[in-house]
Chain A
Amino acid sequence: MGYGYAGKILRLNLSNRSVSTIDTAQYEEWVGGHGLGSAIFWDLCQDKTVSGFDPRNVITIMAGPMAGTLAPGSTRCEMQGIGPQGYPIEWFTRSSFGGRFAPQLKYAGWDGVVIEGKADAPVWINVINDHVTIEDARGLWGLGTRKTQEEIWARVTGNRLNDWQAVGDAYTTQKPAVLCIGQAGEHLSRIATVMHDGGFAAGQGGFGGAWGAKNLKAISVRGTGGIKVADSKALIDTWLWHKTNFQFNVDNPRNEAPIVNFTDYWIINQSPGAVPIAPIWEPCRPKGCQGCPVACSRRMASGLANEAHCFTTNWPYLGIIPPGTQPTWMTPGEWAGGLAEPTDIHGLAKARYRTTDLLNDYGINVYDVFFADVYFYILFLMDAIGPGKAINCDLPFDKWGTEEYKAAYLKMIAYREGVGDDLAEGLERAAERWGRRKDDLESGLLPYPHWGYSEHNDPRAGVDQEYATILGDRDSNDHSFDLPTHGIPRVASISKTEPVISAERLVGILSQKVLPLQGDPLMFDYSDAGLYSASRAKTIAWGRRYARFWKDSVGYCDLLWPNFFNANAPDFSGYTPEGEARFFNAVTGKNISFVDGMEIGRRTWNLDRAVWVLQGRHRDMEVFAPYVYQVPSTRINHFPVYENGQWRYANVAGRALDKDRFEEWKAKYYELEGWDKITGWPTRSTLEPLGLGKVADELQRRGKLGG
C-alpha cells in the first residue's frame, strides 16, 4: 500500500469474537474515510434494510490518508453504518470526529476498523499496534465517557502517564486514543454519541446507541509506528505556504476583530480558540486537533468544558444567559457587542461548562437536546407538559434554564427515565409518541424539517445545508457555503461594522473556486429566485461531491475546508482549490487534480444514494416538513442576493419555501446528477461510467434502478 496508508483494516466480528484483517489496497480506489466505509458497508452488510440496533448492522470507522501526517485540519475520522436516529427510515449514515484517534489508529498500523455482529456481554477493544484483544467491559459498563477513558488509560499504560512507556520494543509518551460511549449509548439512545478525549464526538446519527446494541463500550488504540509520506519536503513546503499566506498570525494578524474577545470573528479570520463561541471568561488556551493550525477549541483553567465545541458549549446558555423567561437564544457575539453582563458572569459560565461536561459524559447529541429543551419550555408555557398533564413530566420547570434543571433533564434522557425514555428516541419520535408530531410539524413548533434531524440553518433562508440533508441522510452539517455567505454579513451586523468584503466580490471569489462548475455567481444567490434555479442545483451537487471526497474521505475538516474567502490573504482569496490536491499529493505521491477528487466524490455520493434506494428512498419522500412551506421564517438571516442586476447582502427572513417550485427544482437536481426524475433513483447510464456497474446490477435485481 502506498504512502499515507497503514495498509490494513481491522475487522472485528463481535458475535464470534473473531479478529481478521482487510487489505486496504482492495479498496484503494475509494481513497479513505467515507469512500472506504461506503464500499466496505456495501460489501459486508448483507441486508441494508435492518435497524441500526440489529447485530447485522456493519459499523465502519475509517481514517483518511492524511490523518497523522501534516496537513492542516486533516485528521477527521469517519464513522458509518445504519444510524438509529434516522426517521422514518434509519438511513445508512455518517458522522465524523476530530482529535487524535485517526492518527493513533494509523500509527498502530490500521487504516480503519469494521465492527460486525453483537457481543454476548459488554466488551472493549484494545488495539496496541498489531496486537488486538477483545476485553471484558463489565467493569466499564455504567461509566461516563470520561471515567471510561481514564480507566482504559490506566489499564493500558499501567498508570504510567506523562512519561515514556515501553510498547513492545518501542516507546511512546502518548496516552491511548479511546473512543467510547456513555450511559446514553448503553441505554440504546437514538441520540447517543461516541466520544473521544474531552469533547470530540461522532454526534449525529445515533451511533452511540448502535454501539450499545453491539455491547461495545470502547475502542482504545495505541501505536508506535509512523506514516511514510511520499515527499516530506513538499509536505513541509506546502504547510509553510499555507502558514505564510493563509493562517491567522497570532503575533501580527493581517485582519483583527474590531472588538476584544469577539470570538464570532473567527468566521472572518480563522483565529484560534473560538468555536466554543462564547467569549473567554477564564484563562485558557486554544486547543487543536492533531496537526491543526486553527485550534478551534479550548482548555480551561477550571478544566471544565475542555475540548468542547459549538452547540455543546452554547446550548447551556439557553435560559441562563441572559437570565429571563423567554426561550430565545442570544448569541454570545450579540451579547459581547454591548449587552449588559449578568452580575455573576463567572459563576454562570462555570455552570454552563459543567453542563457541557455532563452532556459529553453521558454521550448525548446536543443538537437534539437543544431543540427538545426549547420545545419543552414552550409546551410548559402552553400547559401541555408537567405533573399530570398531557405529557406527564416532573422536571422542575420553575427552574428551567438553570444548571439544576439541565442536569435533571440530561439524566432523564441518559437513563431513559420518565419522558426521558421518549426523548432518548430523538425528539421527532418522542413527539409522535405524545401525539404531537403531525400538528407541530405543521406549525413549526417542532423544527424538524427532515429525517428526524432538527434544522441546522433555516431551510427557508440559506437553503444549502437543508437541501443537502433532504437529498441525503442526516443533517448535512456542511458549512462550505454558509460560513462565508452568511457568516460575513452576520459578523458585520453583530459588530455594527461594514462587511469585510462586498457581496459582489465574495460571490466572485466563490464562483471562481468551485471547480469544475466554476463561473456562475448565481450559485450563490439567495434571493427567492435563487432557491429554485439550475444554478442552485450546481451548488448542492458541488457541495456533496466536495464533502464526500475532500472532507469525508480524505479527512479534511469542515472548519478549514473548503477555504473560499480568507481574510489573512491580501486579496481575500483562500486556498481552495489549490491546497486540497497539493497536500494530498505530497502525502500520497499520487498526482490527482482537485477535479479528479470531485469526481471520486460524485462516485461515492452515487454509491451512498444506491444504499438509500435499497433502504426505500424515493423522490416522493424527499419533501420537507409542512411548516417549511407554510410558515415564513422569522430568524434574521443575511445572505448575498442578486436582484435588479445588483448584488447585496439582504435579510432573507420572512419567507417560506414554495413547495411546487422546490419539486421542480428537485427535477433539475436529479437531471444534473443523472438520476431518474420520477423516482430519484440512479440510472445505469450514470452508474456504469463511474465504475459502479455492480451497484446498478444490484439495484436492478431489487427493481430499483432508475430508468
Chain B
Amino acid sequence: MAEVGTAEKRPFTAPLSEGYLVVDRKKCSGCMSCMLACSLVHEGKTDLSLSRIQIVQNPWGCFPEDIALAICRQCVNPKCVEACPTEALHVDAANGNTRTVDGSLCDGCQVCIDACPYKPSRMIWHHEKGVAVKCDLCGRAPHWIEKGGPKGKQACVEICPMRAIKLVKEAPEQEGDAGYEVNLRNEHWGWLGFPTD
C-alpha cells in the first residue's frame, strides 16, 4: 500500500509497435547471417558489434541452450524510451511506432543500454558514431533496397536460411520468452530428423 503523499509509479506507456520479430531458437543454425545482413543494411558493412540482432552461442552447449537469440522486442512498455534523457529514443510514428533512436539527439550517455531489461541489452552501442542504435525493423536502413518497417521487409527475416525469424503484427507476451520464442518448424523439418516440438 502506497504511503500517504506518494504516488504509485505508473508503467510507462507508448503507442504499440505495429510489428514484432519472433524467433525459433530450435531452428536457428547459429550461422549469424542475420547479424551480417542487419549490419549490412544499416551500416553498409558487416560488423557483428553493430548488428541490431545478436546471437550468442556455446560450441559445446546442449541443444537448445547452446544458442540465445537477442532480438529487440519493440516492448509495449519500452524502458529504453522511458530512460532516455534527451528524447532521442522515441516512438517512430512514421515507421509503424517502432522504438527508434534519433542519432542527432543522442548524446551517448548509454543510459538506455542499461535500461533495457534483457541480457544482452537490445540497445547497441555504436562506438564509431558515439550513439546508441537499435532495431527499427529495417524501416530506416539506408542500405536496404526494400521498403522496411512493420509493413515492409526485414533483412534478418529475408536472409535467414533456416527461416527461423518472422515478423508478427500482434504484440507477444511481455513476460519472459513467451511469445517471442515460437515454433516455426513443420513436418519437413521433422522429415530431416530434427525435432518439431
Task: Tell me if chain B binds chain A.
Answer: yes
Asked if B54 and A299 make an inter-chain contact with CB atoms under 8 angstroms apart, the answer reads no
Asked if B63 and A299 make an inter-chain contact with CB atoms under 8 angstroms apart, the answer reads yes
Q: How far is the CA of A570 from the CA of B95 in the complex (A)?
A: 38
- Name the B residues within 8 Å of A252 (CB-CB): 188
**A694, CB-defined interface residue at 8 Å:** no
**B1, CB-defined interface residue at 8 Å:** no
Per-position 1/0 for A233-261, Cβ under 8 A of B: 10111011001000101111100110011
**B62, CB-defined interface residue at 8 Å:** yes
Query: B192: which of A103, A164, A168, A261 is its contact (CB, 8 Å)?
Result: A261
Chain B CB within 10 A, most for which of A146, A226, A252, A302:
A226
- Chain A: residues with Cβ within 8 Å of the partner, total of 74
- Name the B residues within 8 Å of A405 (CB-CB): none
- Name the A residues within 8 Å of B28 (CB-CB): 285
Asked if B59 and A236 make an inter-chain contact with CB atoms under 8 angstroms apart, the answer reads no
Q: How far is the CA of A190 from the CA of B133 in the complex (A)?
A: 50
Asked if B155 and A285 make an inter-chain contact with CB atoms under 8 angstroms apart, the answer reads no
Give min CB distance, A104 to chain B, whole Å.
9
- Name the A residues within 8 Å of B61 (CB-CB): 299, 303, 306
Query: A251: which of B37, B47, B158, B186 is its contact (CB, 8 Å)?
Result: B186
- Contacting residues of chain B (38-89) with chain A, CB-CB under 8 angstroms: 39-41, 43-50, 54, 56, 58-64, 66-68, 70
Q: How far is the CA of A279 from the CA of B193 in the complex (A)?
A: 7
Asked if A236 and B40 make an inter-chain contact with CB atoms under 8 angstroms apart, the answer reads yes
Give min CB distance, B125 to chain A, whole Å.
5
Q: How far is the CA of A667 from the CA of B158 in the complex (A)?
A: 51
Q: How far is the CA of A260 from the CA of B66 in the complex (A)?
A: 26
**A393, CB-defined interface residue at 8 Å:** no
- Name the B residues within 8 Å of A247 (CB-CB): 161
**B12, CB-defined interface residue at 8 Å:** no
- Name the A residues within 8 Å of B70 (CB-CB): 173
Given A70-B33, A163-B119, A226-B45, check contact A295 B40 (CB 8 Å).
no
Query: A226: which of B33, B41, B49, B162 is its contact (CB, 8 Å)?
Result: B49
Query: A229: which of B44, B113, B192 is its contact (CB, 8 Å)?
Result: B44
- Contacting residues of chain B (123-147) with chain A, CB-CB under 8 angstroms: 124-125, 127, 143-145
Given A236-B37, A285-B67, A286-B162, check contact A225 B47 (CB 8 Å).
yes
Give min CB distance, A607 to chain B, whole Å.
30
Asked if B67 and A174 make an inter-chain contact with CB atoms under 8 angstroms apart, the answer reads no
**A340, CB-defined interface residue at 8 Å:** no
- Contacting residues of chain A (341-374) with chain B, CB-CB under 8 angstroms: none
- Name the B residues within 8 Å of A295 (CB-CB): 29-31, 161-162
Given A279-B193, A290-B31, check contact A163 B120 (CB 8 Å).
yes
- Contacting residues of chain A (383-423) with chain B, CB-CB under 8 angstroms: none
**A521, CB-defined interface residue at 8 Å:** no
Give min CB distance, B40 to chain A, whole Å.
4
- Name the B residues within 8 Å of A232 (CB-CB): 40-41, 44-45, 143
Asked if A253 and B125 make an inter-chain contact with CB atoms under 8 angstroms apart, the answer reads no
Asked if B40 and A283 make an inter-chain contact with CB atoms under 8 angstroms apart, the answer reads no
Per-position 1/0 for B172-190, Cβ under 8 A of A: 0000000000001010111
Give min CB distance, A381 to chain B, whole Å.
36
Query: A224: which of B49, B188, B195 is its contact (CB, 8 Å)?
Result: B49
Asked if B31 and A236 make an inter-chain contact with CB atoms under 8 angstroms apart, the answer reads no
Q: How far is the CA of A288 from the CA of B34 in the complex (A)?
A: 12
- Name the B residues within 8 Å of A243 (CB-CB): 159, 161
**Nearest-CB residue, chain B, relative to A226:** B47
**B99, CB-defined interface residue at 8 Å:** no
What 13 additional pairs, Cβ within 8 angstroms, besides A232-B44, A280-B193, A295-B31?
A68-B46, A70-B159, A149-B59, A163-B56, A236-B145, A243-B161, A260-B193, A280-B192, A287-B30, A292-B33, A295-B29, A299-B66, A303-B66
* Among all A-B residue pairs, the 6 with the closest Cβ atoms: A226-B47, A280-B193, A288-B31, A293-B161, A295-B29, A261-B193
Q: List 18 A-B contacts (CB under 8 A).
A: A107-B49, A162-B56, A164-B113, A173-B70, A174-B48, A224-B48, A228-B44, A229-B40, A232-B45, A236-B41, A236-B158, A240-B159, A250-B161, A284-B63, A284-B195, A285-B30, A295-B29, A303-B66
